[in-house]
Every structure is written in structure tokens, then in C-alpha cells.
Amino acid sequence: MPDKPDITIFEVGPRDGLQNEAQHVGLNDRLKLVELLIDSGLKAIEVGSFVSPKAVPQMADTEALIDLLPRPEGVRYSTLVPNLKGMEKAMQAQVHEVAIFASASQSFSQHNIACSIEESFERFAPVMAKAKAVNMPVRGYLSCAFGCPYEGEIAVDAVVMVARKLIELGCYEVAVSDTIGIATPQTTQVVMRSVIDEIGAAVAAAHFHDTHARALDNIKACLELDVTTFDSAVAGLGGCPYAPGATGNVATESVVDMLAKLGLRTGVDIAKVNVAAAYISKVLKPSSAL
């Protein structure tokens, strides 16, 4: 058995990335993208979501995609689920794990899922009960941890409270997310240190958008706090439909390259992840891609 990598890359491009692209990406191209990501050595891949196709049309064929995906040993497929109905669909599709999402901002919670933070946890309770019954791991996203497009600055105490509640619900990990890409290395350490003091570094992941080209520096700041799991999206795909002005997620290929230069292992082949990035870039921008 190979040694566990120093850093885990949680690939979110096929879901969090593609869901916000204006151009629809067809089933065959989504399948090819995931296959290329697997070939690069990525082991944790968010492949889709079971949300309303009217709300997120890019994810409408998630069930069909999962049915076509290979099942290599050691690779985990994740899907986002907003409620019990989504959870039941994920179980039928036999994904390895699911993710739920909560916000540290009341305004963002209302815009994103049309309920308060408190109400969102009430919705998640039956999801978590079902997951526990079938022994399915659940990951938690914590959005607007560094700022909100509607409220601006978010109190660190609010971030810590949501992180604690996600762990208390039964999430195995919380991805602390810079939804609008405004974090700096300094604010990253303030927020992440507070979260880690509450829930521990082992269950704290980080999810950065690269709106102001600071995501890699923010990841370095997290490394100093012993965070070892980072979300990224191949080719820097994505953004957020409820966060005006937010650009894509930090690019997987950039994260892998930086970590390699720091002497840290990810288990990801940079040349092969670049192939995946070039493929999806050509799909999305065929006229300008090389």
C-alpha cells in the first residue's frame, strides 16, 4: 500500500466548478472530465449534486453520470444534497459520500437556500439521520466564512458556531469556504485558527476562490496551522451564482504544483491534471483553446 499523501486534494470541479459555467457541459464531456481526473491520481471527487434541475440545470444529469462512472478502488465520489429528497437520490445512485452546505451569513443563507441558518440545520437533521442509518459519510461546507456578498464582514464567532454545529450533526469534515474570494493570509489564519481551536485541524478543510489571486497564499497560511485537506477545481472552474463578482475556485493544477515545490505530496500527477484542465477548457472555449 502506498503511503498516505501529505495533503489531500478534494476536487470540486465537476460540481462546484461546472454548476456556475454559463455554457452547458454535456454528459459525455462531464464523464470524460471525471475519468481524466481519476487518471491524474485524484481520489476525492465531487461529481455532481442532487438539487432542483430548474435551479441548477448544469447538474440535471448527475444520476446518469454516476451510473456511467468507473469505480476504481480508492476513489471516492461525492454529491451535494440540499435535503432528504436529494439524500435519497444519492443513496439510489450509490455514491460514496454526500455533502451538505450551511452559511455563516443569514443573508446568504436566505439567498442560497431560502431559509435561515437555524432552519438549514433543521433541514439537515433528517439527511444526517438517513446517512447514519446507511453508514454514509457526510461532509459539510461552511460558506461565507471570510465575508458575504450581502453583509460584508462576518463575525468569526458565527463561523465557529456553524463549524461546531456541522460537526455535532455528524459531518466528518468541514470545508471552511471563502465564497467570494476576499480572504488574505492574515484573515485566513484568524478564521481558521478559531475554527481549529473549536473542532480540531484534523476535521478542518479549506476551500478558496481565487478572485483576488490570493488563494495559493491562503493555502500556505493554512499549512502553517496543520490543515491538510484543500478543495480545488481543475482549470479554476466555477464561482458562485449567489455571490456576484466571485471568480472561480483555485485551480487544482496550481495547487498541486505549489505543494510539490514545497516538498509536499498529493499523489496527483501534475502532467495528467494539466491534461484534464486543457480538456475542459477546450470544451468550454473551443474557439480560443489550443
Q: Which residues are catalytic?
A: 240
Residue 149: strand pairing partners: none
Q: What share of the chain is helix, strand, coil (3-state, %, to 5)?
A: 45, 15, 35
CA distance 175 to 163: 9
Cell of residue 29, nine digits = 464531456
| Cβ neighbours around 20 below 10 Å, total | 19
Nine cell digits for residue 171 = 459531518
Identify the three-state secondary structure at position 260.
helix
In this structure, which amino acid lies at residue 102?
A
Cell digits of residue 159: 463561523
φ/ψ (deg, to 5) at 54: -70, -35
* The three cell numbers locating residue 179: 465564497
At which residue does the C-alpha cell 480560443 appear? 288
Do 146 and 183 touch, CB atoms closer than 8 A? yes
Q: What 3-state DSSP class applies to 155?
A: coil
Cβ within 8 Å of residue 174, ≥6 positions away: 139, 140, 141, 142, 163, 166, 167, 195, 199, 203, 204, 205
